[in-house]
A and B are shown apart, each in its own frame.
Chain A
Amino acid sequence: MRGELYFRNTVLDKQMDYSPLFLSLWVSVLATSIIAILGTLIAYVLARKRFFGRTMLDAFTTLPMILPPTVTGYYLIILLGKNGIIGNYIYKLTGWSVMFTWQAAVIAATAVAIPIMIKSAKAAIESVDLEYEKAAFTLGKSEIETFFLVTLPLAKKGLIAGLVLSFARALGEFGATIMIAGNIPGKTSTMPLAIYRAFQSGEDQLATTLVIILTVVSIAVIYITTRISRTD
């Protein structure tokens, strides 16, 4: 069968480099973990708190979703490049620059995917009736306790949906990643970047193999998370 032969020659080929797959998973899982905490926190603040500069925070955290990823990548370079606004202090202090590292890939994935989580989480938290939180206060629970005991469980579905979408976005991130992390095989060449590189250099078989792997992994992730959220 053509399928088997094809698979044997590419996927099981000893020379096949699986590092893009592991790199992509590592970067996406890490980015999603950061987003889970940071995104939920920002969403809570935007949903429940009134303060000066609230609209600005809302607009600022939505920006990476609207800007083309390459533009976001450009701003990240201005911020974190060796001579960047923050980057140059880091370099002076530690002699280390984030450019062309897997950490940069994580930063790029986080930056482009976090607005998705914030939007989802904000809507989910707002949908929790304030009366529940007020009731928890009168029953002696602090704001943090109330968040974990009442708000979070009631907003669970929306939060999970947001995380799944964020993970998908992080997994497929290309534009900002290639700008700030480069496309260095074994180091920062995530799946989308590896596919691009293989395609560019005419390695169509490799490109196709990588595409199939990425598609299968993505479908598996969506399937698993849909099953989890449906068991409620």
Chain B
Amino acid sequence: MDLHVNISKKLTNKNSNEFRLDAEFKCGNEMIVLFGPSGAGKTLTLECIAGLEVPDKGYINVNGITYFDSEKRINISPQKRNVGYLFQNYALFPHLTVEENILFGLPYENNKKEQMQEMRDVFEIHGLEKRYPSQLSGGQRQRVALARALITRPKVLLLDEPFSSLDHIVRMRLRRDLKKIREIIKIPTILITHNPVEAYTMADTIIVYKHGGIEQIASPKEIFSKPINENVAKLVGMNNIFKGKILDITNDKVMIQSHKKIIAPGMEGLQIGEEVTWCIRPDHVMVLREDRSLRKAVAENIFSGKITEIVSKGATYLLFIDGDFNLEIEMPAHAFERLCLEAGRTIKVSLKKSAIHIIRVR
């Protein structure tokens, strides 16, 4: 199973504002997440793959079949592409029952009953068949929508922010369901989300979108620890971003001159005097306890700062400090409580060398 997309499309809206999308990526039978801010073109990409929108130029191949090729003038209608599409608001037909909704996409075949039975089991919707969408809960609607999309054995599954309107528990359950389904129905799946946790937990590959284009394609781990530029860094929550100049390069580390000197892991191709941007995740900034002696491993990049704000996120706390660097720190609640910190106090922090990521400025 293979999906190869390379498209370009320009849109002009009522106010003569132009939007241009350029997207290219390849994937196999995996879960791809399109991740990025609203209006970046993620939904448009999905609609082009489904055939609901036509790119200006490019090509779309699914499992060897060309859905669209502007040079060869091929454009298969959405009806014939056999994609499973889950819309943001599910688009369950309000005037049809659950059963009628699910069977909607099937051509007039005889084995409808068996297929319906299969769907009922997989999606656990027993007893709901005669109900109308307005009588279902959010989670039930989601599952019916999935059943409807998958009963036709599509070649690729497209989901547009499928979990955004659901509460936390339901969301977790559906993520699990989706993973379970993918083990049974093995097709490339593309999911759109702007939730970084969702992207991280569900994706095999993440494609990060910016306004009209793709910034980075990589595994979740790589995206979240080695974002390719400042935009992506902000998106994945690497909120401590600074500029600096390479001062010195040794074997496996470099020294950067920003406000203060920073020691960071070495990177190929860096040159002395080069302007770079470096960043570190809030949860990799360690608050040092005053009474503990500093171990060598921790004795890197030590700075001090005054706490300006403390925000509780339930399981973690966010600290904002102003000092040599204005930093955002995230720490587990138990650690915070042990340290008895409060706004106004000056603390020392350490930026772990291995957690610092350098972005080369072009």
Judge whether A186 is part of the interface by a CB distance below 8 angstroms: no
Q: In the bound complex, do residue A154 and residue B94 qualify as a contact, i.e. CB atoms below 8 Å apart?
A: yes
Verify B94–A140 contact, CB threshold 8 A: no
List the one stretch of B13-21, B79-87, B242-250, B311-319 in contact with chain A: B79-87
A187 touches B (CB below 8 Å):
no
Given the known A-B contacts A131-B89, A134-B52, are A142 and B95 also in contact in the complex, defined by CB atoms under 8 Å? no
Within 8 A of B (CB), among A133-166: 134-142, 149-150, 153-154
| Number of chain B interface residues as a range | 20 to 34
Q: Is A4's CB within 8 Å of the partner chain B?
A: no
| In the complex, chain A residues whose CB is within 8 Å of the CB of B237 | none
Cβ < 8 Å to B, chain A residues 174-228: none
Residues of B within 8 A of A129 (CB): 91
CB-CB contacts of B18-58 with A at 8 A, as 1s and 0s?
00000000000000000000000000000100111000000
How far in angstroms is the closest Cβ of chain A from B20? 20
Q: How large is the interface on A (under 10, 10 to 19, 20 to 34, 35 or more residues)?
A: 10 to 19
Q: How far is the CA of A131 from the CA of B79 in the complex (A)?
A: 15
Residues of chain A within 8 A of B50, CB atoms compared: 134, 138
- Residues in B with CB closer than 8 Å to A154 are 93-95
Give the nearest-CB partner of B95 in chain A. A153
Please report the number of residue pairs spanning A and B whose Cβ atoms sit closer than 8 angstroms: 57
Q: Are B85 and A132 in contact (CB under 8 A)?
A: no
Q: Which residue of B lies closest to A152 (CB)?
A: B95
Q: Which single residue of chain B is at the shortest CB-CB distance from A153? A: B95
- Of chain B, the residue at the smallest CB distance from A154 is B95
Question: B120 on the interface (CB 8 Å rule)?
Answer: no
Are A132 and B93 interface neighbours, CB within 8 A? yes
Q: Which residues of A contact B79 (CB under 8 A)?
A: 137-138, 140-142
Neighbouring A residues of B149 by C-beta, 8 Å: 138-139
| Complex Cα–Cα for A129 and B91 (A) | 9
Name B69-98 residues within 8 Å CB distance of A: 77-85, 87-89, 91, 93-95
Q: Is the CB of B104 within 8 A of A139?
A: yes
User: Could you write out 23 A-B pairs with CB less than 8 Å apart?
Assistant: A129-B91, A131-B87, A131-B89, A132-B93, A134-B47, A134-B52, A134-B78, A134-B87, A134-B91, A135-B91, A136-B93, A137-B77, A137-B78, A137-B79, A138-B51, A138-B79, A138-B81, A138-B85, A139-B149, A140-B82, A140-B152, A149-B104, A153-B95
Binding site for A on B (CB under 8 A): 47, 50-52, 77-85, 87-89, 91, 93-95, 104-105, 107, 148-149, 152
| Residues of chain A at the chain B interface (Cβ within 8 Å) | 129, 131-132, 134-142, 149-150, 153-154
Q: A138-B85, A141-B105 are in contact. List 8 more A-B contacts (CB 8 A).
A: A135-B93, A138-B81, A138-B149, A140-B79, A140-B105, A142-B79, A153-B95, A154-B93
